[in-house]
Amino acid sequence: MTDALKLGFGPFNVPAKGVLVVFCDDGLRFGSASAKALGSATGLVARAAKAERFTGKSGASLDLIMPEGLTVSRLAVIGVGKVAELTAKDFLKLGGMALGKLPAAATDGTIFADLPGAAKGGAKSGPMTAEQAADLALGARLRAYKFDRYKTKKKDDDTTAARRTVTIATADVTAARKAFAARDTTADGIELARDLVNEPANVLYPDEFARRTLALKKLGVAVEVFDVKAMKKLGMNALLGVSQGSAHDGRMVVMRWNGGKKNDAPLAFIGKGVCFDTGGISIKPAAGMEDMKGDMAGAACVVGLMHALAARKAKVNAVGLIGCVENMPDGNAQRPGDIVKSMSGQTIEIINTDAEGRLVLADVLWYAAKRFKPKFMIDLATLTGAIIVALGQEYAGMFTNNDELSHRLHLSGEATGELVWRMPLNPAYDKMLDSKFADMKHTGGSRWGGAITAAQFIQRFVADKTPWVHLDIAGTGFDSRLTDINKSWGSGWGVRLLDKLVADYYEK
Ligand code: BES
Ligand code: MN
Ligand code: ZN
């Protein structure tokens, strides 16, 4: 759900009203268009900066209300630090910060896509490139996202009946609009993913999740929904064991986008879709358990990505597969000690029913490799608390059997700001999964290296040596800290990363 925001591009005209946002560097220098716009207010800005000790450092800002010499109601100056050090992801952040300068009630805002000196990959002076201006717009759009579907009372500052209009002033309006078009569809995918993560589990249970993916059909995506009977037939007992303690049946959804050559092997994206994770019989403590409505962030990302690819008619074949279940403790729930036979034929001894995500992935990954023989598989899962201990909320953990994919994802991460950090796989960790009773246990039995043993487990279900990446997004899929480009909770993490990966390396 987006805040009513009308986002557009226009030339460098000084707005008559509303809020004007300009950028300056850490020498308090402005781009030429900004300097011209400030005109006689320049001295006032310098005095205010001095009084407020504003030096244009990255992340700092200065607000002037009803500035003399301008007719706008507010002038916001945002510091960017050193212009030469700015990269693509910084423009996203700046766009988010700029939007944050518009009080909700203000109808008009104008953001000058203009800098003093040149940014990396930028023009020699002044105006931002079309790409940079478009990134600014994307950041503003993501910042404006709100999930307030369940708030029945409007807030005082939210009295806007009218939509707010935000104009990004830029040197080449046509080029900026064009550059933004591709980002706009990515933003649709991100917002879709955020909506899914933010929805409570009484609304978004597996069947409802599956229903929501049907909307992708409008974009030309083929959608198949597998119910319990269909999954039983396939032998997906690892996944089904997780959902057997819930009143809501599990579902698997397969989404196919064929924008590439007819016989090209598809790229496969697989998501953990645990709509709520109580831990099952190995029940979780009460504190913070509400966050486990977001335990389907991996699946949400896959759906958002499929949306983004289809909406921009990506020249690639891609499949998205999500395993949707609810992990609940009831009389029929799976027990520690139970042994299940996965679709692969391998048997699994259940140790801790709270390690449910890997069981879901085991069957869906196996199915994905066997049915589609994909070029690669990337799975996303809010899999372990251990990855949060290791990496916090800045990086997702990356495990892979393929160095080239690792390198490409690393670069896509640096470019988008959705960062991944490679973690090890090693037979010594794999050995920790040996079981007395079955082909394997499903946890390492120790907290040490918990994210790694989880990845080792999943690797046992990667059929035919398919190139594979596992992204543990437990720390990044939702974010209660709130950032410059996300004021909700569900982050939509991974949509930009994977959209970029596809665009840079797999579209011809
Ligand atoms: N969904 C959780 C992991 C998680 C924790 C995601 C916090 C996001 C935030 C997962 O199913 C889980 O419970 N993992 C256990 C595994 C353990 C029982 C081996 C964990 O990490 O404690
Ligand atoms: Mn769990
Ligand atoms: Zn879980």
Torsion sign over Cα 394, 396, 397, 403? negative
Residue 162 confidence (pLDDT): 58
Residue 481 confidence (pLDDT): 83
Residue 118 confidence (pLDDT): 62
Asked if residue 384 has its Cβ within 6 Å of ligand 1, the reply is yes
Residue 203 neighbours by CB under 8 Å, 6+ apart:
none
Say how far apart CA 474 and CA 477 lie, in whole Å.
Answer: 6
Mutate to test the pocket of ligand 1, among 197, 384, 433 (most ligand atoms within 8 A of CB): 384
Asked if residue 443 has its Cβ within 6 Å of ligand 1, the reply is yes
Which atom of ligand 1 approaches the CA of 384 most closely?
Answer: 21
**Is the pLDDT at 107 greater than 90, yes or no?**
no
pTM listed for this prediction: 0.96
Asked if residue 354 has its Cβ within 6 Å of ligand 1, the reply is yes
Token pair listed for 200:
């409570």
Q: Where are the beta strands (DSSP E) in 205-266?
A: 222-226, 251-258
Count CA within 13 A, CB hemisphere, residue 30. 21
Contact in structure between 297 and 194 (CB atoms under 8 Å): no
Residue 163 confidence (pLDDT): 75
**Confidence label for 158 from pLDDT (cuts 50, 70 and 90):** low
Q: Where are the beta strands (DSSP E) in 138-266?
A: 164-169, 222-226, 251-258
Ligand 3 centroid distance, CA of 462 (Å): 20
Contact in structure between 101 and 77 (CB atoms under 8 Å): no
Average pLDDT over residues 290-316: 98
Residue 219 confidence (pLDDT): 98
Ligand 1 centroid distance, CA of 272 (Å): 12
Which atom of ligand 1 approaches the CA of 294 most closely?
Answer: 8
Catalytic positions, please?
284, 358
Asked if residue 450 has its Cβ within 6 Å of ligand 1, the reply is yes
Ligand 3 centroid distance, CA of 274 (Å): 6
Report the nearest-CA residue for atom 13 of ligand 1.
Answer: 354
| Tens digits of residue pLDDT in 425-477 | 999 999 999 999 999 999 998 999 999 999 999 999 999 999 999 999 999 99
Report the nearest-CA residue for atom 3 of ligand 1.
Answer: 384
Which atom of ligand 1 approaches the CA of 477 most closely?
Answer: 8
Asked if residue 472 has its Cβ within 6 Å of ligand 1, the reply is no
**Is the pLDDT at 159 greater than 80, yes or no?**
no
Which atom of ligand 1 approaches the CA of 444 most closely?
Answer: 19
Partners of 392 in beta bridges: none
Asked if residue 188 has its Cβ within 6 Å of ligand 1, the reply is no
**More reliable by pLDDT, 117 or 306:** 306
**Confidence label for 508 from pLDDT (cuts 50, 70 and 90):** confident
Region at 482 (left for phi over 0; alpha for psi -120 to 50; beta for the rest): left
Residue 215 CB neighbour total at 10 angstroms:
13
**Is the pLDDT at 154 greater than 80, yes or no?**
no
Ligand 2 centroid distance, CA of 502 (Å): 30
Residue 124 confidence (pLDDT): 52
Asked if residue 131 has its Cβ within 6 Å of ligand 1, the reply is no
Q: What are the backbone angles phi and psi of residue 358, rounded to the nearest 5°? A: -65, -30
**Confidence label for 125 from pLDDT (cuts 50, 70 and 90):** low
Asked if residue 357 has its Cβ within 6 Å of ligand 1, the reply is yes
* Average pLDDT value over all residues in the chain: 95
CA–CA distances in Å: residue 383 to residues 117, 146, 259, 329: 44, 26, 31, 19
Average pLDDT over residues 347-376: 98
Q: What are the backbone angles phi and psi of residue 19, rounded to the nearest 5°? A: -110, 135
Which atom of ligand 1 approaches the CA of 453 most closely?
Answer: 19
Report the nearest-CA residue for atom 16 of ligand 1.
Answer: 355
Residue 4 confidence (pLDDT): 77
Ligand 3 centroid distance, CA of 261 (Å): 37
| Tens digits of residue pLDDT in 23-67 | 999 999 999 999 999 999 999 999 999 999 999 999 999 999 999
Which atom of ligand 1 approaches the CA of 295 most closely?
Answer: 1
Query: Distance between terminal CA atoms of the chain?
Result: 33
Contact in structure between 423 and 383 (CB atoms under 8 Å): no
**Is the pLDDT at 10 greater than 60, yes or no?**
yes
Asked if residue 360 has its Cβ within 6 Å of ligand 1, the reply is no
Ligand 3 centroid distance, CA of 397 (Å): 16
Asked if residue 277 has its Cβ within 6 Å of ligand 1, the reply is yes
